[in-house]
Amino acid sequence: MTPIFVIQKHHAKNLHYDFRLEKYGVLKSWAVPKGVSEEKGVKRLAVATDDHELSYAAFEGIIAEGRYGAGKVEIWDGGTYEEEVWCDDHIVFKLNGCKLKGRYSLVPFKKAGEKTWLIFSV
């Protein structure tokens, strides 16, 4: 079965986009403050967050005030992806979404912190 991805626009304390890839039966997740760029080579900050259950890929709605991530969540894009490489020091994949299509990479940005990555189109 082809794994899925989802990008959720999240109006929390600060507007950001939650980028999620299905892997190992969960959604591996990153918060991307400026969203994933469609332009080749434009690097965007992506901060690793907790894994989410697969069912969360379909979530749209309001997270109640006082709860973690409080605010409005809406699906911005989603679809399937093809994994090319998944290592500790880089991930390469092809997105097959409605808005985003093509090859992307996630690489750790260790200078900025342990959970900090960069995401960009390759």
pLDDT at 119: 98
- 67: confidence class by pLDDT, cuts 50, 70, 90: confident
pLDDT at 71: 92
Each residue of 77-113: pLDDT tens digit? 999 999 999 999 999 999 999 999 999 999 999 888 8
| 16 Cβ contact list (under 8 Å, min separation 6) | 10, 31, 32, 33, 35
User: Cα(3)–Cα(23) distance, rounded to whole angstroms?
Assistant: 7
pLDDT of 1 > 90? The answer is no
